[in-house]
Amino acid sequence: MRWKEQVLVLQPYQPGKSKEEVKKQYGLDEIIKLASNENPFGCSEKVVSAIQDFSGSYALYPDGYTTDLRFELAELLKVEANQLIFGNGSDEIIQIIARALLRPGYNTVMASPTFPQYKHNAVIEGAEVREVPLIEGEHDLEGMLAAIDDKTNVVWVCSPNNPTGTYISNHKLLSFLERVPEETLIVLDEAYFEYVVADDYYDAVELIETYKNLIVLRTFSKIYGLASFRVGYGISNSDIIRSLEPVREPFNTNTLAQLAAKTAIQDQEYVKKCRELNRKGLEQFYSFCNEVGLSYSLSQGNFILIDFEVDSNEVFQYLMERGFIVRSGKALGFPTSIRVTVGSEEQNNGVIEVMKEFLQSRVTLTK
């Protein structure tokens, strides 16, 4: 068969070990998963009720225009309904953008390390990938501008960035947006938007009015606690949305997912509560790191990257054998760090205890 060459060199997505697998392997009763930045408190009770009370038909295709969710969201964001595009997770919006704009002979610019799906999809489309290293965990926006040329079709900006948790200030973002050529689509991935508390953060939806080459991506997978339903969305001007729409599959968000997301929007109190609890959780990790002298980056997301200054797989393994699944930094471009999702207060205390034990065991070993 005549496969695209680049497809044969790509690795399929490696899912982490399941809770059940780890339980069995290490004889544990309970496993706490702090690996995928899911909401430790689940979703709003209102969503649970709405799904239980669903009385529609499973035999009918979903609403291909995502009408109810679209209007609910347009109202929340104060945009027009035709300024939104929905995906089976924002992962799918990333794929749609790549399909619509990337191809051989053109390039795309992104930070490194950042969310891996930008590169993955760009490679599939055969575009040249230009990666600009982070500087102290932050996007090097000047470096990214320098990498952009007249063949750059998409530039990806992730703020707060996964896996560092760092954000871009309003001032820095504006200065960047001003200088990106108008033929280049700027994708601003704000998967953790609802967790941000920084004073000098920007209002991305407002920026869409000024910058006609900007699309903002958000998701119901993180603070809304609906990762299993797979709903993400893009916000842009109606021209960009119209150009992307033909690339979208007609029924890409399913009926229950649309209902779940629409109901979740109606409970902004829940979002606020989760944002506040997440801040308290981050503080637990900051105190721990300060106490034991580990370096970390300040996070505006619901996760923290902690540098243990040893092979990250060792820390990962130690924690897993004691019931905590985190992400080893090795595959994320930080070979001595681990990325931990902020859990409930109790979960955070639990994983911090085991981290302390790990540090103790190292001290004993090297004595």
Ligand X SMILES: *Cc1c(COP(=O)(O)O)cnc(C)c1O
Residues 6+ apart with CB under 8 A from 207: 173, 174, 177, 188, 214, 216
Largest Cα separation within the chain, whole Å, is 67
Choose between 125 and 189: whose C-beta lies nearer to ligand X.
Answer: 189
Compute the least distance from the CB of residue 93 to ligand X, in Å. 8
DSSP code of 273? H
DSSP assignment of 300-358 equals SSSEEEEE-SS-HHHHHHHHHHTTEE-EEGGGGT-TTEEEEE---HHHHHHHHHHHHHH
The answer, yes or no, to whether the previous bond of 113 is cis (omega within 30 of 0) is yes
Closer of 83 and 121 to ligand X (Cβ): 121
CB of 166 to ligand X, least distance (A): 12
Shortest CB 189 distance to ligand X, Å: 5
Nearer to ligand X, 83 or 90 (CB): 90
- Nearest distance, CB of residue 27 and ligand X, angstroms: 31
3-state helix, strand, coil in the chain (%, to 5): 45, 15, 40
Please say which residue, 114 or 152, places its beta carbon nearer to ligand X.
Answer: 114
Q: Which is nearer to ligand X, 310 or 331 (CB)?
A: 331
- In whole angstroms, the minimum distance from the beta carbon of 251 to ligand X comes to 17
* Nearest one of 360, 323, 272 to 26, comparing CA atoms: 323
Q: How far is the CB of 284 from ligand X (least distance, A)?
A: 21
Closer to ligand X by Cβ: residue 81 or 227 = 227
Q: Which is nearer to ligand X, 83 or 164 (CB)?
A: 164
> Nearest to ligand X by Cβ — which residue?
89
Helices 90-101, 117-124: inter-axial angle, 10-degree rounding:
30
Torsion sign over Cα 342, 346, 349, 351? negative
Residue 56 is given by DSSP the state S
Shortest reach from residue 339's CB to ligand X, in Å: 10
Cβ-count burial 56-68 (b if 16+ within 10 Å, e if not)? eeeeeebbeebee
Which parts of this chain interact with ligand X (CB under 6 A)? Answer: 37, 89-91, 115, 158, 162, 189, 191, 219, 221, 227, 232
The distance of closest approach from Cβ of residue 247 to ligand X in the complex, given in angstroms and rounded to an integer, is 16
220 vs 288, beta carbon nearer ligand X: 220
Nearest-angstrom CA–CA distance, 140 and 146: 10
Q: Where are the beta strands (DSSP E) in 138-291?
A: 152-158, 185-189, 214-219, 232-235
